Structure 1
């Protein structure tokens, strides 16, 4: 705790895209942000001293560096801080709590009590948000051959992609990860409750922030008789009362960056009953509910604070 009784937070990697977003949003929480002198930010002793002095460390680092930071914290024993990690390194680790509070009714309490919380990935936030309630309700079988198509703003690609798009204009649209081994796939499978890996095709558009995750379904391949209204109803019931996740009505078109700058997510069930086809969509800001906004929500829960209203 700081001298004024506020919880203390250290962002390791605060100069990165996610770190900057978290730092900006911390103004909505009654916490004290502690920082290392920029000249010593890679000094192991300085980082260790900082970790030992704060209540929570937020890691905004590449996977390998995040693992090193957690090993450093673990070596502190009883002096170790609680950790919220924004990397992919621990998202499927059973010793860590997954930081998607809306996933289940008990998830907020798990996050409150956890010493180690993994912040979800942006693409998995959309996919898990859409599919997990439907799989749990039995409307979508866990062995259904799931295909995930998604487009993100270029800010999700890190500094080099951001600079390329802002300096040279970048491509209008590009598919990537066509080797089908994207690092988010195990996270999607685990938390959506799937029995097999989804086929995931990500893409990037020439816009800074925003994201659409879409999942096509053949209604006649679902068990029994499942209607569009059934799918919508399960999602609406699951997220009833959420101030961040809205189950909206279907629409004729979706613009990917419509929620840029917000911490909200919109879920929809589109389809054609006569054709027996549906498309589930999740729209969010890859840097909001898909990253920094989710981190603030998790941080508030970890510190026993009321999460701030979504932007």
Structure 2
């Protein structure tokens, strides 16, 4: 019998993208609440408890409520909110993060989907910490720019409807200026950091796509590695991955610019090690679709692991 999948919050930005990826699949049964019953709590509870896997595309408090309603029924969960990303009982849904992570996701009842920015940052940072090249107390700076769909329906409306009162007309804007972005705790936790990084995110006037950049001073890293050694460490970590690609140093060296929309429409991620050998610095850059590997695509990848695909 095909596993029953219920998307709680299917009409939000992330939910709609997940539905588009799943609606034509014959190996699952996609459950959907009738439109006229979406606000009926007892109907929602019934769907949550009857599902084999519920994918939560909800605000944090609503996600916690959904888990409380159905965890005892054996329902398995993929939570796309921030609510459980550093919870010890939840498997972190980034299969490429470290050895054994895919197996942990496959066996888990509870899986937390990573944030989009943290997916890019962790892809760059965590392997270097694990390899001993990047000290856990390194004073990291993380910079990022995302398509505006990452902000959900309200930001989409502000960016696309110039006539509304709270419209945003800027071509690009920085935010989280008090350095309290919600993705920082999961970056610290899942990279094994002991010093909180400075994270400066931004939004550009494009719908989907993302760049996450981590500049490093090589003389502050363990053993003062070369640029080639940093690249080799990342390449070894992701060797054989069908999802995460590390660009060759020779390819990165020829780039005049990086386009944040490069990976739009895919559920993959591409990593770059940029700089000049011998200059003592590198700039690590992750390119991904904020709604692909950064959200909905990652949720489907986790679902496939959980159902044995």
**TM-score normalized by the length of structure 1:** 0.93
Task: Report if the CA contact (8 A) 1:127-1:192 is conserved.
Answer: no
Are the counterparts in 1 of residues 228 and 277 from structure 2 also a CA contact under 8 Å? no
- Structure 1 residue 30 displacement after superposition: 1.4
Q: Is the 8 A contact 1:9 1:31 kept in 2?
A: yes
Where in structure 2 are the equivalents of 1:287-306 lying within 5 Å?
287-305=291-309
Question: Which one of the candidate residues 49, 53, 65 is aligned to 1:52?
Answer: 49
Q: 2:280 aligns with which of 276, 281, 285?
A: 276
Secondary structure of residue in 1 paired with 2:161: helix
Alpha-carbon distance in 2 for matches of 1:258, 1:224:
34
Contact 1:189 1:197 in 2 (8 A): yes
Give 3-state SS (helix, strand or coil) of 1:100's partner.
coil
Alignment partners' CA distance in 1, 2:294 and 2:109: 22
Match of 2:267 among 257, 263, 287: 263
Indicate whether 1:136 and 2:136 are aligned: no
**1:181 aligned to 2:175?**
no
Superposition map of 1:125-274 within 5 A: 125-168=119-162, 170-249=169-248, 250=252, 251-274=255-278
The root-mean-square deviation of aligned C-alpha atoms, in Å, is 1.1
Offset of residue 274 of structure 1 = 3.6
The alignment's TM-score, normalised by the length of structure 2, stands at 0.94
Instruction: Specify the alignment match of 1:309 in structure 2.
Output: none
Aligned to 2:165: none
Aligned residues: 298
CA deviation after TM superposition for structure 1 residue 92, in Å: 0.3
Q: 1:29: Cα distance to partner?
A: 6.3
Equivalence for 1:8? 4
Partners of 1:267 and 1:37 in 2: CA distance: 42
Residue 252 of structure 1 and its aligned partner are, at CA, apart by 2.8
Query: Equivalences for 1:55-70 in 2 at 5 Å?
Result: 55-70=52-67
Distance in 2 between the 1:28 and 1:300 partners? Answer: 12
Deviations along 1:130-176, one digit per CA (max 9) or x if unpaired, are: 11110111111111000000000000011111111111273100000
Report deviation, 1:28: 4.6
Confirm or deny: 8 A CA contact 2:226 2:278 kept in the other structure: no
Find runs of 4+ consecutive structure 1 residues off by over 2 angstroms. Answer: 272-275
Aligned partner of 1:23 among 14, 19, 28: 19
Is the 1:182–1:200 contact (alpha carbons within 8 Å) kept by the matching residues of 2? yes
Unaligned runs of 5+ in 1: 306-311
Give the deviation of 1:69 after TM superposition.
Answer: 0.9
Say if 2:96 is the partner of 1:102. yes
Higher mean C-alpha deviation, range 25-34 or range 130-139: 25-34
Q: CA–CA distance in 2 between the matches of 1:220 and 1:29?
A: 53
Q: Among 32, 50, 75, which residue is 2:29 paired with?
A: 32
In the alignment, which residue of structure 2 is the partner of 1:120? 114
| 1:30-72 CA distance string (max 9 Å, x none) | 1110011112112111011111212100000011111111111
Partner of 1:103, secondary structure, is coil
Distance change in 2, residues 1:219/1:281 (3 Å): same
How far apart, CA to CA, are the structure 1 residues paired with 2:27 and 2:170? 42
